A and B are shown apart, each in its own frame.
Chain A
Amino acid sequence: MIKATIRYIIILAAACLVAFGMYWLVEKNGTALGINPAFGREGRGEFPGMESGEFQPRPRGQRPADGFPEGTAPDAGFREHHNEFERGGAGSILGLGGIFKNMVVIAAITLGVLLLTKAFEWITRRGRKVRSAA
């Protein structure tokens, strides 16, 4: 039990060390590494519906909406969708679809690797046969 606890702490410490390294890389040297600190939709202050005018940026001085960056506020429809996402459950069919999609991705990768392994085995076996025949 003591041995397992020590090992658990070692793994946790290693994970924390790697995490600290990643944090330092992104926060301190992100720009040098080509990671734009403001990249991503939110960083650019862009939201769906902005181009069509459906989504209006929040006027300056108004209280920022929860979860949205300074200077922007969502319209009622977008806000409702955002709240559904925050609560979860409302989009459960969508969520189950997402789980299914991820399972398909894992299955496809597994199948791909298994087929590649079989192909590699077949090629090496055939190569060995050809060499022995020669």
Chain B
Amino acid sequence: MSAKTNLWVDTAILVAFLVAFEPVLTGIAIHEWLSLALAATVIIHLLLHWDWIIKVGVQFFRKLFHSSRLNFVINLVLFAAYILVMLSGILISRSVLSVLGIQIEATPAWRSLHSWSADLSLIFTGLHFALHWKWIVNTIKRYVAQPIGSLFTVRKLQPAAAKSTIKEN
């Protein structure tokens, strides 16, 4: 899959994550449905990086030290935090479960676990972001900054093309 596709999927995930993180802005119903959609998109993100996950996962216990180890551990914690956010969110849900006609008796602890795991996922999203900083900067330069920059640069006529233009005149 191309880096361009990855960039757009990741941007969509980040924007949806930031919006879903603020139920005060969206209201409970949108917060819950948007978070469900976000979970599906996160799985697509994992799917796009399947080869890397398998490669590093296999090497994880073979070689003790390699550069992707920290990245892998942070991604695992982030995945677990997202699962806890989703699980606790579903268990305390008022909109999604009522639409689906499901009633779950869960302990009030899930409410606190929801906010606690949300904070954890925010911190680990920051770490995930930091570890991919070089890729983010390079991809944005290549697919966003350069195409926008080329719109404003004055194109010089090639010598041959310039001659033919003069002749035509």
Contact = CB atoms under 8 A, between A and B. Distances in A.
B22 A99 contact: yes
Interface in B82-97: 83-84, 86-87, 91, 94
A96 B18 CA distance: 10
Contacts of A69: 108
B24 A98 contact: yes
A22 B112 contact: no
Given A27-B107, A95-B25, A109-B123, A19 B87 contact: yes
A43 interface: yes
Q: Range of interface residues on chain A?
A: 35 or more
A90 to B, nearest CB: 9
Contact of A109 (B21, B28, B126): B126
A101 to B, nearest CB: 9
Interface in A95-111: 95-96, 98-99, 102-103, 105-110
B109 A40 contact: yes
B12 interface: no
Interface stretch (B127-135, B140-148, B150-158): B127-135
A95 B44 CA distance: 27
Interface in A57-80: 67, 69
Given A26-B113, A95-B25, A8 B18 contact: no
A95 B43 contact: no
A24 to B, nearest CB: 11
A112 B127 CA distance: 9
A36 interface: yes
A42 B114 CA distance: 13
Contacts, number: 129
A15 B27 CA distance: 26
A123 interface: no
B46 interface: yes
Contact of A26 (B19, B109, B123): B109
Nearest to B80: A18
A110 B25 contact: no
Interface in B3-56: 18-19, 21-31, 43-44, 46-47, 50
11 contacts: A7-B47, A8-B44, A19-B86, A27-B106, A38-B108, A40-B111, A85-B24, A88-B23, A99-B19, A108-B126, A110-B129
Interface of A: 4, 7-8, 11-12, 15, 18-19, 22-23, 26-27, 30, 35-40, 42-43, 67, 69, 85-89, 91-92, 94-96, 98-99, 102-103, 105-110, 112-114
